[in-house]
Structure 1
Amino acid sequence: MSDVAYDPWSPDFVADPYPAFERLRAERPVYFDEPTGQWVVSRHADVDALLRDRRLGRTYLHVAGHEKFGREPEPEFLRPFWDLNRAGMLELEPPTHTRLRRLVAKAFTARMVEGLRPMVRALAEDLAGALAAKGGGDLIAEVAEPLPVTVIAEMLGVPAEDRPLLRPWSAGICGMFELNPSMEAQRTAVRAATEFSDYLRALARARAAEPRDDLISALAQVVDEGDRLTEDELIGTCVLLLNAGHEATVNATGNGWWALFRNPGELERLRADHALVPTAVEELLRYDTPSPMFERWILEDVSVSGVDIPRGAEVALQFASANRDASVFAEPDRLDLGRDPNPHISFGLGIHFCLGAPLARVELAESYGALLRLAPALRLAEEPAWKPGFVLRGLEALHVEC
């Protein structure tokens, strides 16, 4: 293979993985990567097929123990993190996943999400207006981060005085999703999982005793044919909604504006026609995918593009690479805010398709819209730096002027 290497720990790769992905798709679309111990899959057709293939799973624990899959048992100190993580649907497979998603979907409805739009718009305008009034600042810290955290907190019914706790807990837990997290990151994740679980358990019990018009109350009251969420499942679901619905949306906002600043012709096109915002959101999610890689376990032997992958192996499905595949997207490295159709896979596919995708789309559309209206001359103040992680890929900060 060429000297353009797949290296998810390299700052240069994190900053621009697309040349490496182009070579991978052409030369080694399915290969075993020794440093990560994963099979790397980079073509759109293969990633699409594997996301829908029930011979793969987010976990293997429903069919075998760690030893049967050649894995070391998890350290006991990580139990609080894994107990919380596995109480939410992301780390579950059918039939448990099917049951949990059905119950959650009864409360987290499309109608409920669309009903949030006026609140999201008002919040986005407050944040964008404040940024414009002071002549600029860090778009990540002042718009991208507070918007989804506040929306999720409003949905769940977290009191305003407690909301500053949510972002550190989310960041601490999500640190475990990177490849080979450090011991410090693991202990931070355990501490965050413990504190967040304890907080939500108390809040859920209060809402069960005195329900309010919020998602925690709704989840506590959901019943389907006599079935309902356990307390642990309710807590795991709330944490998942915050983490999945927050980290990726923050990165999508920052990555998207950075892409617009690098493509001034498309930014001017959007400024001239705000009706492009819905397709722009989809294109920006494709162009610089905020969650560029998802992992799956092989539950039964599979063959991918003629390469045999054995049971017990782990695959790294490269969403960001699939979203730049020239066999699916014309001129994939060109930002086209009117691209249609746009079959990107940034929200996943199959049974694990992102439940929060409608909410993410509302938040992103309202955020971009508010900044276009209230900060029409928004411009880059300094080139940003990327955070070190690749699994959740985003900017440290995005300093702008208005």
Structure 2
Amino acid sequence: MNTIETTDHNILREDRVADPYEYFAYMRAEHPVHWNEEFRAWFVYRHADVTAALRNPALSSDRIKPIYESKLTPQQQRERKPTFDILGNWMVFMDPPDHTRLRKMVMPAFAPKAVERMRPRVESVVRETLDRVVDRTELDLVEDVAYPIPAVVIAELMGVPPEDRDLFKRWSDQILVLVFGARGVEGRRAEAQQGLTDLADYLRELIATFRKMPGDNLISALLAADEDAPLTDDEIVSTCVLLVFGGHETTTNLIANGTKVLLEHPHQLARLRADRSLIRGTVEELLRFDGPSKMEMRRVIAPVDLGGQTLGVGEQVYLVQGSANRDDAAFESPETFDITRTPNRHVGFGFGLHHCLGNFLARLEASVAIESIVDRLPGLVPATTLPHWHPTLISRGMTAYPVRVES
């Protein structure tokens, strides 16, 4: 391992954005629960501490309203109100009972049986996507393959007209730099607010349409939900914004990162080609080894003792999944990519109360996509141009991954 500059804890340094794992290994060993002065937050690096923290109700997901109410000036509150109005209703930024109520409404659409019924359409979307690139010799795996597949699937699930799907990418790219903790991106708050409000306005029109003429889609199901406390239109809009954004962003990263890892581990790729029953384990190992999420954020609402440190009320905490998934206390030979690894208790989709709602759909899409890429693009190799990564704390995803197809 190379020497780490212990005085430099900028996790968004360019080399650490491209490959954070050496830094994570150092921090697990030397500073497993670390106050990062640059980011004014705690970072938690070990698997046991991350999973314990994700179970601890003193570490709250409700961090949008407190920021709005206590961290912003009156002028900033006025300027950013549209952003906080939408994000404040995201279930990922809520604690029970509000989180429980919202999740209960949406959960049926993402349950295992409901997702499995989507398999034929997912297979069709993957086939159509690869049909468009199979004869090319150069492509961007993110733009040409990894993005279109989940974008089409989540759009159809929501009831979005096919011709409008590409709008999601522009809006999601605008939102990403704020929600996932980018720094140094000029105008990111204004761009994100524009993306959020444009997407919300679009969804309000869909809601109005489906209120008059319900369809076989998630928005219609949310409108028809017969509960003691039905969702308000604002809650439906915010929930749909979250699902549109999260429903394709994570899976795009999983497909792209996963393909990249397999190309970099030809022996494991050969094992998958020889035995397609290994695809499920392959996806789980990809989630562990270089998954789509680097960390989750929490806010301390009661003092917490963790890893020999006391976390104070009001402080922010980043639970570093990407580090936890390479912890040798939890995994044998964690730096080895092994598609037959079992057990594989990774936290790639989180853990506990906020375990990713769409994990079954993401697993299905990634399994079908990656197996099809292996089948239909057997000559795929990385291009000489290096991939470019989103400079964000929370997500682990590439903006572009140039590849070639050799005969």
Please report the TM-score for the alignment, with normalisation by the length of structure 1: 0.94
Partners of 1:227 and 1:66 in 2: CA distance:
26
Q: How does 1:280-359 map to 2 (within 5 A)?
A: 280-359=282-361
**Residue 271 of structure 1, CA deviation:** 1.5
Q: Is the 8 A contact 2:108 2:114 kept in 1?
A: no
Aligned residues: 398
Give CA deviations for 1:270-304 in whole Å, capped at 9, x if unaligned.
Answer: 12222111110110111112210111000100000
Please name the residue that 1:131 is paired with.
133
| Local SS of the residue matching 1:194 | helix
Contact 1:11 1:388 in 2 (8 A): no
Rate the CA distance shift 1:261–1:61 in 2: closer, same or farther, 3 A: closer
Contact 2:32-2:44 at 8 Å conserved across structures: yes
Q: CA deviation at 1:105?
A: 1.7
CA shift, 1:265, in A, is 1.1
Q: How does 1:83-98 map to 2 (within 5 A)?
A: 83-98=85-100
Deviation at residue 96 of structure 1 after TM alignment: 1.0
| Match among 83, 87, 102 for residue 100 of structure 1 | 102
1:252 aligns with 2:254: yes
Once the 2 structures are TM-superposed, how far is the Cα of residue 393 of structure 1 from its aligned partner? 2.1
Shift of 1:36: 0.3
Structure 1 residue 174 displacement after superposition: 1.6
User: One-letter code of the match for 1:36?
Assistant: F
Contact 1:271 1:376 in 2 (8 A): no
Q: Write the distance in 2 (CA, Å) between the matches of 1:57 and 1:113.
A: 29
Aligned to 1:396: 399
Paired residues of 1:6 and 1:13 also in contact (CA < 8 A): no
Kept after mapping to 1: 8 A contact 2:297/2:319: yes
Give the Cα separation in 2 of the matches to 1:322 and 1:90: 20
Q: Secondary structure at the match of 1:400?
A: strand
| Runs of 5+ consecutive residues of structure 2 not aligned to the other structure | none
Q: Residue 128 of structure 1 aligns to which amino acid in structure 2? A: L
Deviates more, 1:196-205 or 1:5-14: 5-14
Shift in alpha-carbon separation, 1:130–1:2, aligned structure 2, 3 A = closer
* Structure 1 counterpart SS, 2:340: coil
Alignment partner of 1:40 out of 40, 43, 46 = 43
Q: Secondary structure at the match of 1:300?
A: coil
Question: In the superposition, relative to structure 1, how do residues 65 and 193 fare at CA in structure 2: closer, same or farther (>3 Å)?
Answer: closer
Deviation by residue 1:49-97 (Cα, 9 ceiling, x = unmatched): 1011101111257789843xxx345532211111111222111111111
State the match for 2:239 in structure 1. Answer: 237
Structure 2 counterpart SS, 1:124: helix
Tell me if structure 2 keeps the 8 A contact 1:107–1:222.
no
Residue 55 of structure 1 corresponds to: 58
The secondary structure found in structure 2 opposite 1:252 is helix
Give me the whole-angstrom Cα distance separating, in 1, the residues matched to 2:402 and 2:186: 32
- Where do 1:363-382 residues align within 5 Å? 363-382=365-384
1:129-168 equivalences under 5 Å are: 129-168=131-170
Contact 1:62–1:93 at 8 Å: present in 2 too? no
User: 1: distance between equivalents of 2:65 and 2:142?
Assistant: 39
Task: Please say if 1:187 is aligned against 2:190.
Answer: yes
* 1:176 corresponds to 2:178: yes
SS at match of 1:393: coil
Of 219, 223, 234, 1:216 maps to 219
- What is the deviation of 1:130? 2.5
Task: From the superposition, tell whether residues 72 and 81 of structure 1 become closer, same or farther in structure 2 (CA, over 3 Å).
Answer: closer
Consecutive unaligned residues of structure 1, counting only runs of 5 or more, are: none
2:335 counterpart letter in structure 1: D
User: Alpha-carbon deviation of 1:375?
Assistant: 1.5
2:274 matched residue in structure 1 = 272
Match of 2:13 in 1: 10
Of the three residues 1, 13, 20, the one matched with 2:23 is 20
CA–CA distance in structure 2, aligned partners of residues 66 and 87 of structure 1? 15
Once the 2 structures are TM-superposed, how far is the Cα of residue 214 of structure 1 from its aligned partner? 1.0
Aligned to 1:206: 209
Percent of aligned positions that are identical: 37
Q: 1:242 to 1:65 in 2, by over 3 A?
A: closer
Amino acid at match of 1:347: F
Per the TM alignment, residue 107 of structure 1 is displaced from its structure 2 partner at its CA by 4.2
